Amino acid sequence: MLRNMIDRFVGRGEAAVTVPPMDGALRPNQALEQAAIAAEARAPDNLVNHRGDILFSTGRELRKLGADSVVHSFDRSITCLAAAPDGHLAVGLSGGEVVIVAPDGAVNSLPAAETSHATALAFHDDALIVCRGSTRHSVDQWKRDLMEAGTSAPGSGSVVLIPRAGPPRVLADGLRWPYGAWSHQGRIIVSESWSHRLLALDPAGGTRPQTVLTDLPGYPARLSAASDGGLWLAVFAPRSQLIEFVLREDGYRRRMLNEIDSDFWIAPTIANGRSFLEPIQGGALKQMGVLKPWAPSRSYGLAIKLAADFEPVMSFHSRADGSRHGTTSVLEQAGLLYVASKGGDVIVSLPAEEFVEP
Amino acid sequence: MVDTIAIAGSRDQRARAKPSLAEALVRARYKYIPDHVVGEILTKRWIDNVAPFTFLIITIALFGCLLPDFFSPASLIVSLRQLGEFGFVVMAMMIVMVAGGIDLSVGSNFALGNFTALAAMNILGLPVGVAFLCTITACCLIGLLNGMLVGLLRLRAFLTTLVTLIIVRAVVDMLLLKYAVQISGAFVDSDIWDFIGSGSVFGVPFSAVLLFVAVIVGHVLLSRTRPGWRVMAVGGSRRSAHNSGISVRWTVCGTYVVSGALVGVASFMYAARLNSAGSDAGFGMELAALTAALLGGNSLGGGRGSTGKALTGAIIVLVITNGVVRLGIPSGAGSMVLGAVLLLAAGLDVRWLKNRHKVLSKVYVSPTVNDLPPCPPTAVGSGSPYEVNDKLKDVEVIGLGQVEAPEDVIFDRADNLYCGTRHGDVMRFLAPDYKKLELFAHIGGQPLGLAFDRDDNLYVCVGGMGLYRVAPDGVVSKATDETNRSTFSVNDDSRLRLADDLDIAPDGRVFFSEATIRYEMHQWPVDSLESRGNGRIICYDPRTNATHTVIRNLKFPNGVCLSYDGQSMLFAETWGCCIKRYWFDGPKTGQVETVIASLPGYPDNINRSSDGHYWLAIVGMRSPAVDLAFQLPGFRRRMSRRVAQDEWLYPNLNTGCVVKFNDKGEILDALWDLKGVNHPMITSMREHKGSLYLGGITNNRIGRYRLPNADANWSGIEDYWGRT
């Protein structure tokens, strides 16, 4: 208690606003900014490999990459996707439940009590893994969820395993916005976005959740498999000193949440610079008409490749001066890496020689 | 892009309705407690003396309480007499320390002086004046020896003076062995000798009077004369002193000689007082003097010190040593207390030197409540006069890459275009096509606001320098760089730090704004973070060459423009987001009234338009997050301490616009360019013959917007001063 007060006064310990640097394997580059456009769509989100085709969600529609065709359309916007090897698709819907689309097109709803607020889906063998971001706010209110939680408040998110037959099981709860899941070497790897880390969960529920990667310099989103046995991780926004500071400033944050439109909050976002009413930071002041790539930014584009032991080995960036921000999903397929930029309204692709180590 | 801009105003207004008691308290706290003064006081040089002085008060109070008769007149006179002698020795130590050295031989030198004085008076029977000269000479010679070894041969000061300490003490002991009996046996019959030893001036012992005179004279010498500055410079940084042509070796040598002389004076008075040839004269005095000098705040590393500090330290040490003796504490305890105090002083000296600037940087920035009125909407369809558009999208570009940071632009009678650059030049684009660029004048500081007077002299506000005047032939002369100092300001606000924009009244008086008196030009973001009324409007009268401040406490005043009535100036308050009018003439002289109470952005320069109205550059737009931060000073203060400046929340200066308003403050037109490709940033605009020319302080170009339906023959200089 006293320790906390002193820390708050002098700005150290929990009150320090240090942010891990983007260095080593995370050293910035312009790879995403220079990558070829695979598709343009409004806020493209979750990429999945559905029997060799790449499907992605955009608003209420499920589209096929390269075909310019709507595979399926729903009455609410899609929050997340997963494809099972047998051709079943799981689709999370905003403000509701997860539905299963069978290969023949039949749609079945899963019980909303276990699947609402789905932010990410994955299949583990036959079972469906559902990441439920938070029970306090709907998925499109993610910014409010983060800003209300601050840096340390426990989350209300959970990860639920739904077997094809049998009752659903909660693998972990009290999570701070789980936003990605993938089955990896018999365990479920989950990205806990507001805590900037990856957790490994035991699908049998035997062992406690284990932290496998911490101190990410951004807010992690979806996970997917890399062809060499590793994982791909999408990071949609950077951590910044100012946001970390605001997350510790309860008075300011409370008034900001009450009085200001969420587009203009000091908060991570999927795209910035759309309006002059948005907050800007000192380094983002244009000099001689130029915005520097290292300028502080509230949004970012980043795809990280993790080795099988979760060590980052490679990364692709879209920096402050770029526009391919809000990267929420990465998918490697047939020698190409696809990255969905939700803030930049594009899906870009990188050829194998850029990301496969010789 | 335009359609995505929402209106944030409505939410703002709802929340603003009722300030709570807590908010009112916060506001009152920031209104009435001037916490910026703390930082300003910390920048003062005399702040070094506060801790020693406090310690002095505590010491005196402590011993005054413990020993009831400690400050009785009789006791006080004895103490003062000792102080007179000891004070000189501390000054001797101080002068050496200021130049970066140390003199451990003061104690034995004192003993030598004592012996010399007694020998001259008692054995040789010399007159007092001659004996005094002998004593001083003897001590100076020891000082010279130290000075030669330390200054000229550059031996280590500590070791060298330690050696002289031992040798001189040995010599004195040998001499005493031989002459002590002779000295004790003789009797000196001299009134002057007695007066020096036990006389008083108006009840104050002679030695104390002499010390106070020496302190004052010494202070003037050290702080106001060339030799004093040299000593300070050598102590502050030997290398810099050497590079600026000071003879470091001789200066160091000189300080030891002066030290010797001061010790000589002290020992002569000691001899006169006690007339004792004992071997304990000056024993352990180097330790006491060193402690006193350090305690007073003289730095061991050199460069910081004064006679006043030496006096403070001398009093503290004397009170402690005498007090400990009088308390009846067994012998040895006095030295122990002194040692402990020395340790404390040395530690404080190091910590203070190391951390002072850190403390200063933490407390200097002191934000206050800047409660702006609701922000007018700018969205398309809001019906606001500020509605965004893309009129400036196709601005033509002049001199791309040739000029950097043209804050303001102006035209002469021959239609040539002038602007400043951050390299300290005033540049001139030649009419009619503005392709050819030439250097008009080099000033050195960054030119900001520009204005022509009746005789075609160009007046220029130069950041960091003041108000300058460039004659039509390009000759630069200073108009003014200082104004009257405010009566109660802690910071010396007589110098101009950031002269910003100006205009000239019909009678030739120049009214110009100084954006802030607390920060330099490149620190403007810190001033915005503070949003305190740090700026002012100043008047320079070329007829009398006098300058005086006319309005104070403005939030980054900017954009001064003469009104069409010829009796008032319009000016903008950038962080206040408002336009005000100052009457310098006529029935309302001296009054200030608000013309526009709330702008959607941060106003910069104001200039006349051809249709009898005014153009206003809005350099950046208000964002709700910044408006909210402006209401919460504690948030901003913590941000300034915890977050790197590049990461601070800034006013958004990446998007701006130009608006036209009339004398009533009504907005008549708004020109926007949201993408800012051709002309990214606008700090100023000047209408000239049908076009609007744009300047921007972070730009490398000048913009030209052809105004539809504008008077193609109108020019500012003719509007002000008529045709020639």
Q: State pLDDT tens for residues A82-113.
A: 999 889 999 999 988 899 999 888 899 998 88
- The number of beta carbons lying within 10 Å of the beta carbon of residue A276 is 24
Domain harbouring B623, CATH code: 2.120.10.30
B282 contacts B110 by C-beta, under 8 angstroms: yes
The verdict on residue B382 lying in a domain is no
The verdict on residue B18 lying in a domain is no
Among the partner residues A258, A261, A283, nearest to B646 by beta-carbon distance:
A283
Contacts of A11 in chain B (CB under 8 A): 638, 641-642
The burial class, CB within 10 Å (0-12 / 13-18 / 19+), for B115 is: buried
pLDDT band for position B97 (50/70/90)? very high
Residue with the two structure tokens 């922000």: B375
Indicate whether B181 pLDDT > 80.
Answer: yes
Same domain, B66 and B204: yes
pLDDT in tens, B536-567: 999 999 999 999 999 999 999 999 999 999 99
The verdict on residue A28 lying in a domain is no
Percent of chain B with pLDDT over 90: 65
Q: What is the mean pLDDT of residues A259-278?
A: 93
The verdict on residue B11 lying in a domain is no
Indicate whether B343 pLDDT > 90.
Answer: no
Cβ <8 Å between B699 and A283: no
Indicate whether A350 pLDDT > 90.
Answer: yes
Residues 241-280 of A with CB under 8 A from B: 241-242, 245, 249, 251-252, 255-256, 258-261, 263-266, 274-280
Same domain, B412 and B318: no
Q: What is the mean pLDDT of residues B1-22?
A: 48
Strand B684-688 with B691-695, pairing: antiparallel
Contacts of A298 in chain B (CB under 8 A): none
Cβ <8 Å between A285 and B625: no
The verdict on residue B570 lying in a domain is yes
The verdict on residue A20 lying in a domain is no
* Three-point CA angle B532, B538, B542, nearest 5°: 165
What's residue B2's pLDDT? 37
Q: What is the mean pLDDT of residues B366-375?
A: 91
Among the partner residues B6, B645, B652, nearest to A261 by beta-carbon distance:
B6
Same domain, B353 and B432: no
Same domain, B357 and B419: no
Cβ <8 Å between A296 and B525: no
Q: What is the mean pLDDT of residues B196-208?
A: 88
Helix, strand, coil share of chain B (percent; to 5) = 45, 20, 35
The verdict on residue A19 lying in a domain is no
The verdict on residue A2 lying in a domain is no
Cα of first residue to Cα of last residue in chain B, in angstroms, is 48
pTM (two decimals): 0.83
- With CA atoms as reference, the chain A residue closest to B673 would be A276
Domain count of the fold of chain B: 2
What's residue B19's pLDDT? 65
Q: Which residue has the higher pLDDT, B579 or B485?
A: B579
Domain harbouring A166, CATH code: 2.120.10.30
Indicate whether B8 pLDDT > 60.
Answer: no
Cβ <8 Å between B15 and A259: yes
Q: Which residue has the higher pLDDT, B24 or B578?
A: B578
- With CA atoms as reference, the chain B residue closest to A275 would be B5
The verdict on residue B33 lying in a domain is no
Cβ <8 Å between B642 and A245: yes
- The number of beta carbons lying within 10 Å of the beta carbon of residue B166 is 13
pLDDT in tens, B51-69: 888 889 988 898 888 888 8
A177 contacts A194 by C-beta, under 8 angstroms: yes
* Host domain of residue A282: 37-355
SS3 B644: coil
Does A16 touch chain B if contact means CB atoms closer than 8 Å? yes
Indicate whether B11 pLDDT > 80.
Answer: no
Alpha-helical runs (H) found in B119-205 = 128-147, 157-185, 191-198
Same domain, B611 and B664: yes
Q: What is the mean pLDDT of residues A28-55?
A: 93
Does A186 touch chain B if contact means CB atoms closer than 8 Å? no
- In this structure, of B46-50, B174-178, B646-650, the range with the lowest mean pLDDT score is B46-50
Cβ <8 Å between A296 and B6: no
Domain harbouring B142, CATH code: 1.10.3470
pLDDT in tens, B402-432: 999 999 999 999 999 999 999 999 999 998 8
The verdict on residue A203 lying in a domain is yes
Cβ <8 Å between A289 and B11: no
Among the partner residues B8, B641, B649, nearest to A281 by beta-carbon distance:
B649
Among the partner residues B14, B623, B642, nearest to A279 by beta-carbon distance:
B623
Same domain, B276 and B342: yes
Same domain, B420 and B339: no
Cβ <8 Å between A279 and B681: no
Among the partner residues A241, A260, A275, nearest to B628 by beta-carbon distance:
A260
SS3 A12: coil
Contacts of A265 in chain B (CB under 8 A): 625
Same domain, B167 and B263: yes
Indicate whether A358 pLDDT > 80.
Answer: no
Q: Which residue has the higher pLDDT, B197 or B462?
A: B462
Q: How far apart are CA A253 and CA A109, in angstroms?
A: 38
Indicate whether A205 pLDDT > 70.
Answer: yes
For residue B658, the distance in angstroms to the closest alpha carbon of chain A comes to 15
pLDDT in tens, B134-143: 999 999 999 9
The verdict on residue A350 lying in a domain is yes
| Alpha-carbon separation of residue A39 from A54, A131, A187, A341 (angstroms) | 11, 27, 33, 10
Q: How far apart are CA B74 and CA B80, in angstroms?
A: 10
What's residue B325's pLDDT? 82
- In this structure, of A293-297, A322-326, A342-346, B301-305, the range with the lowest mean pLDDT score is B301-305
The verdict on residue B439 lying in a domain is yes
What's residue B18's pLDDT? 59
Percent of chain B with pLDDT over 70: 97
Cβ <8 Å between B4 and A279: no
What's residue A206's pLDDT? 80
Indicate whether B198 pLDDT > 80.
Answer: yes
Domain count of the fold of chain A: 1
Same domain, B432 and B518: yes
For residue A291, the distance in angstroms to the closest alpha carbon of chain B comes to 9
B246 contacts B233 by C-beta, under 8 angstroms: yes
Q: What is the mean pLDDT of residues A253-263?
A: 94
Among the partner residues B626, B632, B648, nearest to A282 by beta-carbon distance:
B648
Same domain, B164 and B82: yes
The answer for residues whose C-beta is within 8 angstroms of residue B590's C-beta and 6 or more apart is B550, B583, B584
Q: Which residue has the higher pLDDT, B503 or B43?
A: B503
* Host domain of residue B59: 42-322+330-362
Same domain, B296 and B346: yes
Cβ <8 Å between A277 and B645: no
The verdict on residue A29 lying in a domain is no
Most distant pair of Cα atoms in chain B: their distance: 112
Indicate whether B25 pLDDT > 80.
Answer: yes
- Write the DSSP symbol of residue B123: I
Does A15 touch chain B if contact means CB atoms closer than 8 Å? yes
Percent of chain A with pLDDT over 70: 99
For residue B20, the distance in angstroms to the closest alpha carbon of chain A comes to 13
Contacts of A266 in chain B (CB under 8 A): 625, 649
pLDDT band for position A352 (50/70/90)? confident
pLDDT band for position B434 (50/70/90)? very high
The verdict on residue A76 lying in a domain is yes
ipTM (interface pTM): 0.92
- With CA atoms as reference, the chain B residue closest to A250 would be B635
B448 contacts B420 by C-beta, under 8 angstroms: yes
Same domain, B233 and B97: yes
Q: How far apart are CA B512 and CA B468, in angstroms?
A: 11
Q: What is the mean pLDDT of residues B152-176?
A: 94
The verdict on residue B35 lying in a domain is no
Cβ <8 Å between A274 and B4: yes
Contacts of A296 in chain B (CB under 8 A): 646-647
- With CA atoms as reference, the chain B residue closest to A12 would be B642
